[in-house]
A and B are shown apart, each in its own frame.
Chain A
């Protein structure tokens, strides 16, 4: 149904975030944990009012939307339909779990920013029109930059680069959106043109946020610079909001299949050689985003469900992984794997949770990722995308390698320069925060039918637990681990800085700017020098003529001056008469 104005649920989180700046410490946990629950309740109360959209509405299928007329356009600040419901639900769950994990943050400003950031993401996925989407998109960018800067002085440059990249992406999205509104007169956010400048600009803007290769260097550059709590939030919202926008705006765009495959390959390779545990996880979420892009590119109901479902599940297990990495970071004071020393001995519960989350990352049958990823693979198989299916199978084996390496270097191995700092389990509420999303991932795997019914597209019945599918996945997993087992010692753990596509603007760009800058400065200095010399010559000449020692200023006899005056007056009289 299309309703009048309704209060956007995202504002509960945003206002709560702002309130955290002034609330006393004893009330902040209630606000941080209560706001996601209220937001989720509001979203589901709207979902309960979903009905088939009228024919003259810009939406189709079951939807609840609240409309608002602004600048001659009909805007929809709230639109709840099966797709936005999936993302808003998991974002609210993540805001709750992340908030629980972050309760020990001492900086109340960062705690406030985390709430605002989560609220902006929920606002973006509930936006029914491009203008509202853009507003929340940019709010998300601003909040995330501030969260990165809250990581400390080392995050300053990365935050600036992040801001530059994301504001460029926002500008592309806005340009595409403005073009779309201008040509169609319609602001509702639905499938966008897949060809031409308008669609291309919007797609680039979204792909930047989705961390698609080669536009993804910002992610591993910036996220690990944030605090132990900030990275947990950052890992969940920006890229998945972009995946939502791809499902909404570009379903079936075949380019996304190949961009997704390239993104998976890049993520798997970089994760395998990275020596910073949080950067390793950043590359892992880049690779997972690639799976979702492939699903969107295939575009069948099953593949789109796979993309949405995998976004839902990967947010949950990635949260647990980043929380575990945050616990190691807090304990050791660094995320460099060479400093780790058999974390499982000191924090066995965290190691167990991280191990199960890593198995989920590797899509072990019995975890949520298996039932979501198999939708994408089967979607590729049923859409006769043989090559995509083959590459997805290869990617599944590739993911096993870095999932296994995460557990190995994080919790089992002794680094080459182990830290002597004693480490211990994180607080009980932080372990609970790791358990909540992970438990959900495991529960979903037990009831795949219910999970599939929750996904946005109507599709044919699908059973993920078939003997041959299970066997193939297990073979990929076990033999992938076997390959890792013999090869892992080839890659030393000493800190290394990997060159990424950000080299183009961090090194080449700076060098070019420096060279061009020197040229411009030299030309400017030369021109300024010449101008100054000309002005000086003019002043000298004027001084020579009019100065105290000049001809005009010299002392003359009165008669000599009178003679000159008479001559000049004669000339004047003669010229007047003639």
Chain B
């Protein structure tokens, strides 16, 4: 029987572990932030939506960058 690839393993276990960790962090927010915080830290789940937003926007921009400003093949030295 062939060994499962690391890619498959990472995807299989990542999909299980990541949401668990993410849920724990969301719960931790409500346990830790009992007192009102000022500024950005006072926005509920600021880190969560901010990271997701930035992550998706960055990936979207990177994808657009790749389509618009790149060409196939490794960079040449000329």
On A, residues with C-beta under 8 Å from B are 154-158, 221, 225, 268-270, 272-273, 275-276, 279, 336, 342, 344-345, 386, 389-390, 393-394, 397-398, 400-401, 408, 411-414, 467-468, 471-485, 487, 490-491, 494-499, 506
Find B52's partner among A157, A411, A483, A498 (CB 8 Å cutoff). A483
In Å, the complex CA distance between A409 and B76 comes to 22
In Å, the complex CA distance between A201 and B72 comes to 38
User: Are B59 and A499 closer than 8 Å at their CB atoms?
Assistant: no
- 14 of the cross-chain contacts (CB-CB < 8 Å) are A154-B77, A157-B77, A345-B6, A393-B50, A401-B55, A401-B58, A412-B7, A475-B25, A477-B51, A483-B54, A490-B63, A495-B72, A497-B74, A497-B75
- Nearest Cβ distance between residue A37 and chain B, in whole angstroms? 37
In Å, the complex CA distance between A344 and B6 comes to 8
User: Are A484 and B55 closer than 8 Å at their CB atoms?
Assistant: yes
Chain A residue nearest in CB terms to B60: A487
In Å, the complex CA distance between A208 and B50 comes to 32
User: Are B18 and A485 closer than 8 Å at their CB atoms?
Assistant: yes
User: Are A412 and B6 closer than 8 Å at their CB atoms?
Assistant: yes
- Count chain B residues whose beta carbon lies closer than 8 angstroms to a beta carbon of A: 46
> Which B residues are in CB contact (< 8 Å) with A480?
51, 54-55
User: Are A491 and B62 closer than 8 Å at their CB atoms?
Assistant: yes
Q: Looking at chain B's contact residues, is the secondary structure mostly helix, strand, loop, or mixed?
A: helix
Chain A residue nearest in CB terms to B47: A475
Given known contacts A272-B62, A491-B66, A479 and B52 CB-to-CB distance under 8 angstroms: yes
User: Are A483 and B59 closer than 8 Å at their CB atoms?
Assistant: yes
User: Are A483 and B56 closer than 8 Å at their CB atoms?
Assistant: yes
> Which A residues are in CB contact (< 8 Å) with B33?
468, 471
> Which B residues are in CB contact (< 8 Å) with A475?
25, 29, 45-48, 51
User: Are A413 and B7 closer than 8 Å at their CB atoms?
Assistant: yes
Find B58's partner among A269, A496, A497 (CB 8 Å cutoff). A269
In Å, the complex CA distance between A155 and B75 comes to 12
> Which B residues are in CB contact (< 8 Å) with A495?
72-74
User: Are A336 and B52 closer than 8 Å at their CB atoms?
Assistant: no
User: Are A476 and B51 closer than 8 Å at their CB atoms?
Assistant: yes
Given known contacts A269-B58, A476-B50, A336 and B37 CB-to-CB distance under 8 angstroms: no
Find B51's partner among A275, A276, A479 (CB 8 Å cutoff). A479
